[in-house]
Amino acid sequence: MKQQTKVMIEARYQLTSDLCKKINSIVGCRFDNQSIMLDFIAPRWEPDFEEDLLEIRVVHIGIEAIGYVRASEVERLIGVPVKHLEGDYLAYLMTQTAATKGIHYQGYHYHPDKAVSTILLESVLTCDDWQVTLYVAIESLDIDDDYLEIQPCQLDGNLRLAVSFTPFETYLDTNEIIGLSDDDIVVVFPK
């Protein structure tokens, strides 16, 4: 008797068509409302953060989103180690630093791999004189398309380009092609 093995395949991610459209319309674009700027880079399917995260909410003209910032970046911005601060005091410091920019503290995640289970969109948030990497929860993102612009590609001017194009296949070898004269007829037809 032949032994049967059953294998169950389970999808790691299941995206709705609306979520796919949202990702495709935003990745590679820049949000700019003259106060804050967000450069959307790429989705992060499996966030693998080794350090704590601060959850923030961005609310400004044309955008509303929940996002996550690494604790080390927040420490760099506010100038104080944040790991051992109480939530209320950390909220106060964040309010003093970023509330005028439309950025509000929501919470602290000590074990972000367990706390953050959504698909994130890696982006760079720029406000006035500071810049941080912000991981935006895609489902929470509400953005006005009028403030989105496609970022131009920034390729090196010395970049070499090689192109290979095969419009058709030939069954003639090199010697036969070399041996063709002006009187020979070659028939070309689609596959």
pLDDT in tens, 24-37: 888 888 999 988 99
Which pLDDT value is given to residue 114?
61
Q: 178 CB contacts (<8 Å, ≥6 apart)?
A: none
Model confidence pLDDT, tens digit, residues 43-97 = 887 767 788 888 999 999 999 999 999 888 888 888 888 888 888 888 888 888 8
Q: Which two tokens stand for residue 155?
A: 């390729």
State the Cα–Cα distance between residues 135 and 68, nearest whole angstrom. Answer: 5
SS3 41: strand
Does the residue 28 lie in any domain?
yes
In a domain, 178, yes or no: no
Q: Which residue has the tokens 């953005």?
A: 143
* Number of independent structural domains in the chain: 1
User: Could you tell me the residue range of the domain that residue 115 belongs to?
Assistant: 17-150
Task: Return the pLDDT at 122.
Answer: 92
Question: Is pLDDT above 70 for 153?
Answer: no
User: Is 104 part of any domain?
Assistant: yes
If we measure between CA atoms, which residue out of 60, 96, 61 comes closest to residue 77?
A: 96
Q: Does residue 164 sit within a domain? A: no
Residue 31 lies in a domain: yes
Tokens of residue 183, six digits = 């009187």
- 71, exposed or middle or buried, with CB in 10 Å at 0-12, 13-18, 19+? buried
pLDDT band at residue 155 under the 50/70/90 scheme: low
- Tell me the residue length of the chain: 191
Helices and strands (DSSP H and E) totals, the chain: 5, 9
Q: Which residue has the higher pLDDT, 164 or 132?
A: 132
Q: What is the pLDDT of residue 125?
A: 92
Is 169 a member of any domain?
no
